Amino acid sequence: MVAVLRVVTVRFGIAALALAALAACPVGHGDDDVDGDAGADGDADTGTGVRVTWAVQPDVPGPASAAVTVSELRLQCSSLRLIGDVAPPGDPRTSRGAIDLRWRRDQAPTPVAMASAPPGLYSRLELGVGGADEHLTIKGEATVGGVTRPFEIEDERRHGVTLALALTLAPGRSATIPVSIDVGVVLAAVPFADLDVDDGTLVFDDDDPRLDAVWAALDLAITVPPVAGAAP
């Protein structure tokens, strides 16, 4: 496929993440659908188990830097897995299929509920790879050489993000894992000034090695607190 960074006259959606993921997840089932009660393929939120929430900084839509404004961030992740001493990789109680993390005007990801997560110790959270490609999209405006143009960054590949954490889930209790994506970190890896303009559009070919740096930046941009707290 072709990964495109569009820069047209006058008007981003990252840093999709979309290390999404990889968004909490209005984990939506389609381009525009948002499920406010459960994550994609998730349990209803019953007040027990584990909830994974999603946040982006700076706010999207909004400025990511003096030269770049983000209008949309989207990270479509092939899987979400919470792994611990009582929940090995692939445990259906702590695993989800594809999730769609998307921030844009009037839309943000809803939490993913894992109400059946068993009590125990959890040490990591994994986004992708679940047997399919991840898909990162970023849209907005960038100012290059004094000219402001719209842009779009789009790429997909098999890519996994592993987040280390320390979470103790007590019987009958709930806990929340807050996942955050720093858009500025991702955008810092995009060489806006060095990209060629083709009919008002900046283009990354799918084999452009500079896309590797964007995904590497996404790895750094997605974080969780080292110790996840239990809900009161």
Residues 6+ apart with CB under 8 A from 56: 15, 23, 73, 103, 108, 180, 181, 182, 183
Q: What parts of the chain have a pLDDT lower than 70?
A: 1-46, 198, 202-203, 206, 228-232
Quick one: which of 83, 81, 80, 99 has its CA closest to 26?
A: 99
pLDDT at 7: 35
pLDDT at 75: 97
Q: Would you kindly state where each structural domain of the chain is located, as residue ranges?
A: 3-223
Q: How far apart are CA 223 and CA 183, in angstroms?
A: 12
pLDDT at 203: 65
**Count of other CB atoms within 10 angstroms of residue 85:** 10
Where do we find the tokens 């858009």? 183
**pLDDT by residue (tens digit) across 72-121?**
999 999 999 999 999 998 899 999 999 999 999 999 999 999 999 999 99
pLDDT at 97: 95
Amino acid occupying residue 208:
D
pLDDT at 102: 98
Q: Is the peptide bond between 129 and the residue preceding it cis, with omega within 30 degrees of 0?
A: yes
